[in-house]
Amino acid sequence: MSKQPIKQVVIVGGGTAGWLCAGVLAARLGHRIGNSDESAINITLVESPNIPSIGVGEGSWPSLRDTLQEIGIKEAEFLTCCHASFKQGSTFAGWRNGQQDDKYQHPFTTPTGYTELDIHRCWQHFFHNESFEQSFCLQPDICHAGLAPKQSSTPEYAYVLNYGYHFDATALATLLTNHCKTSLGVKHTQAHIAKVVAQDSGDIEALVTENGDTIKGDLFIDCSGQQGLLIDKHYHVPWLSVSSVLLNNRAVAVQVPYGSNEIEASANKIASTTIATAQTCGWTWDIGLQHRRGVGLVYASDYASEKNAESILREYVAKGIPNREIENLKFRHLQFDPGYRKQFWVNNCIGIGMSAGFIEPLEASAIAMVELGIRMLCDQFPQNRHHMSHVATRYNQRFTYRWERVIDFLKLHYALSERTEPYWLAQRHETSIPDSLNALLDLWQYQPPSRYDLIENEEIFPSASYQYVLYGMGFHTNSRLLDKNSDMVSKAFALKQRLQEGKSQLLAGLPTNRDLLTAISQRVEKEKITTNNEKKEGSRHDVIGFR
């Protein structure tokens, strides 16, 4: 194999996945503007000029903070340009039995003392009058109060409580496009791909556009979404459907405005979590941005038609806005086959984003998988084609494992439900539960999820996440009894006392999401006015000096 260095990277497809890949690659390994590092790589992104960006969702994990900061985008700029808000986790309503009090949270903050104490045993034996997620974590109460995870004086990307974002995916793609082109030296080509030129070895040598332009590369990244222009259309890598495990294969989505007058707007506070509400044939997501809500229904076509699904979503939306406004909303229907590729890296082509896999938006893992993929590529970036074959093997092994863990974790949300509708009975049927998850559920009857169950570094979901869902859904673990005089018990009660004191301080000191976002927007606008005034003043002095 060639020992020529890998210098030219070509990304096919824009959107959130493509431009995140371009941004991280350029920031870490590329030719930045004004940087003449000879070891840097050149990055070209090719996207169709008239295919609208679908994006990989409007919710992220806390990891996106690190990604945006590394790319070089200011948090305030991201929040204002993308109408973004703070996400501190997910709220699940009606998933267990559908009763009025059926609700729990999966917060982004690990329980306090998680690595020092057996949190589950302490909760089970002494604090079971509280929900599991509230017993050693303050974030659920802060989210319930609609408060932000930080204060106005908190530095950018820093936090009081861990957080990710809700955002407008199309606006993020636009922001990333401009930043990558102007600040990171990414070459942007808008054109349809007419032909893939392959070498005798099977590697891709170049892409030929409909305009007749040839774009050569050493490494190609397929971010073309469900089209899979390279990984599917060219290499024909099989898609491994998991529709027998996770039944959802349809979605209907709508953008819902906040109230049209000040009274209605004030009543529509920005939620601190993604609200996932169980329905008879699936579940609805509800996320609050600064300017609107993103709402949708994920469902299984075997249990609802498009018409039925849209009716369910309309009924859900009608709870928050006047009926007269619903008629003006545009409902968008989507289809997908849940699954992932048999291989993600073939020859000199790697699929990232929806071209590599897509399950459903539950727990917002899509963007996190993009981030994990591009970070591993950067950390293990091949020096030459020979090196690439080793990196590709490792990458394929790692991401097969990660997709399997995503499937197990998402299935956990369904497998423990007590709902009796046909859809929910099918979701928890024993034949639909993976053997790997069944084995863990059997084990967890006797011991709570722990680091011994999830042994890879950078697990997609840590053991604390499994505990939040497991015990939020009412699962019972027969833990050993605790001696009331043990050191663990005294530490647990002391910790609970400190948490109660901290809770009072946070409730009193944190602003609401809306108030903090408004303050940030006002600060950004003030800085723009100051900058413009300084530019005008500078221009006036230049004229005077010239005279």
pTM of the model as a whole: 0.93
Q: What pLDDT is attached to residue 534?
A: 64
- Taking residue 310's Cβ as centre, other Cβ atoms within 10 Å add up to 17
Buried b (16+ CB within 10 A) or exposed e, 77-106: ebbbbbbbbbbbbbbbbbbbebeeebbbbb
Per the prediction, the chain carries an average pLDDT of 92
Average pLDDT in the 354-372 region?
95
Order of strands, edge to edge, in the sheet holding 187-190? 187-190, 42-47, 8-12, 219-222, 349-351, 345-346
Task: Identify which has the larger pLDDT, 457 or 309.
Answer: 309
Question: Is residue 364 predicted with pLDDT exceeding 70?
Answer: yes
Average pLDDT in the 135-148 region?
96
Q: What pLDDT is attached to residue 258?
A: 84
pLDDT more than 90, % of the chain: 83
At residue 458, the 3 state secondary structure works out as coil
Q: What pLDDT is attached to residue 47?
A: 95
Quick: pLDDT tens for 158-217: 999 999 999 999 999 999 999 999 999 999 999 999 999 999 999 999 999 999 999 999
Buried b (16+ CB within 10 A) or exposed e, 243-282: bebbbbbbbbbbbbebeeeeeeeeebebbbbbbbbbbbbb
The CA distances from residue 529 to 81, 152, 433, 525, in Å, are 16, 20, 57, 6
Quick: pLDDT tens for 493-546: 999 999 999 999 999 999 999 999 999 999 999 888 877 766 666 655 554 444
Residues 61 and 365: their CA atoms lie apart, in Å, by: 8
Quick: pLDDT tens for 297-349: 999 999 999 999 999 999 999 987 777 788 889 999 999 999 999 999 999 99
Question: Is residue 292 predicted with pLDDT exceeding 50?
Answer: yes
The CA distances from residue 209 to 192, 198, 218, 231, 544, in Å, are 6, 15, 17, 17, 51
Average pLDDT in the 460-477 region?
96
Question: Is residue 149 predicted with pLDDT exceeding 80?
Answer: yes
Residues 536 and 308: their CA atoms lie apart, in Å, by: 58
Quick: pLDDT tens for 384-421: 999 999 999 999 999 999 999 999 999 999 999 999 99
Question: Is residue 356 predicted with pLDDT exceeding 70?
Answer: yes
Cα–Cα nearest to 366, from 142, 146, 63: 63
Q: What pLDDT is attached to residue 324?
A: 75
Using pLDDT thresholds of 50, 70 and 90, give the confidence band for residue 262: very low
Q: What pLDDT is attached to residue 358?
A: 96
Using pLDDT thresholds of 50, 70 and 90, give the confidence band for residue 230: very high
Question: Is residue 142 predicted with pLDDT exceeding 90?
Answer: yes
Cα–Cα nearest to 511, from 230, 145, 218, 186: 145
**42-48-52 Cα angle (round to 5):** 120
Cα–Cα nearest to 51, from 15, 20, 19, 18: 15
The CA distances from residue 88 to 79, 146, 251, 375, 482, in Å, are 15, 10, 24, 23, 32
Q: What pLDDT is attached to residue 14?
A: 93
Q: What pLDDT is attached to residue 238?
A: 98
Residues 169 and 56: their CA atoms lie apart, in Å, by: 7
Q: What are 286's strand-pairing partners?
A: 275, 295
Q: Among 5-19, 124-138, 349-363, 447-461, which is the least confidently predicted range?
A: 447-461
Q: What pLDDT is attached to residue 529?
A: 81
